[in-house]
Structure 1
Amino acid sequence: MLLAQQAAATDINAGLAVIGYGLGAIGSGIGVAMIFSSVISGTARQPEAQGKLMNIGFTTFALVEVLALLGFVLFFLAS
């Protein structure tokens, strides 16, 4: 009886981990889209600032992707 309860709890945790990682991946995708849409908009408004905007864009892109990779690692730790 006790082993059956533990197996059911493990399956629920793995399912929640999949849902959590999926939401994290969607969130990082939206974040990357917002970052580069802002870079494109800023470059269109002020073309001479393109270098600075691209530098800031790639820095924040790296931070967002690190958070997505962290979610990927936590998914494997939870399952």
Structure 2
Amino acid sequence: MSLHALSVSCPLRVVRWEFQTSVVSRDIDIAAKLIGAGAATVGVAGSGAGIGMVFGSLVIACARNLSLKQQLFSCAILGFALSEAMGLFCRMVAFLILFAM
């Protein structure tokens, strides 16, 4: 069957465009994902440092004025929660970069 016969028998042929990538391009995309996820996890280290600073300051404050221990502890727990939340958000962004894109 010739090409002309095919075009006459199927006048409404659908042309399909597909996105084709090379192996090198795919490797570059994977490397970019891994680098981006690694950069997003740097905030987890900052979160750990923040938690250390919060509880270190709590120890110093309690050593200076033990009568304010309960009030200082509640403020320290709030600081811990906020610092930990930022670390979890950084981890969430890293997982989104890795698995959602």
Same fold (TM over 0.5): yes
Q: Which has the higher contact order (CA 8 A, sep 6+)?
A: 1
TM-score range, shorter chain: 0.7 to 0.9
CA contact (8 A) 2:40 2:93 kept: no
The reply to whether residue 25 of structure 1 matches residue 44 of structure 2 is yes
* Equivalent residue in structure 2 for 1:43, among 41, 59, 62: 62
Give the greater-gyration-radius structure (CA). Answer: 2
> Where has structure 1 moved over 3 Å in runs of 4 or more?
1-4
CA contact (8 A) 2:37 2:97 kept: yes
The reply to whether residue 16 of structure 1 matches residue 36 of structure 2 is yes
Query: For this pair of structures, how many residues does the alignment match?
Result: 78
User: Unpaired runs of 5+ in structure 2?
Assistant: 1-19
Letter in 1 for 2:84: E
User: Unpaired runs of 5+ in structure 1?
Assistant: none
After TM superposition, give the deviation of residue 39 of structure 1 in Å.
Answer: 0.6
* Equivalent residue in structure 1 for 2:72, among 50, 53, 56: 53
CA contact (8 A) 2:54 2:79 kept: yes
After TM superposition, give the deviation of residue 6 of structure 1 in Å.
Answer: 4.4
TM-score (norm 2): 0.69
TM-score (norm 1): 0.86
Q: CA RMSD in A?
A: 1.6
Residue identity over aligned pairs, in percent, reads 24
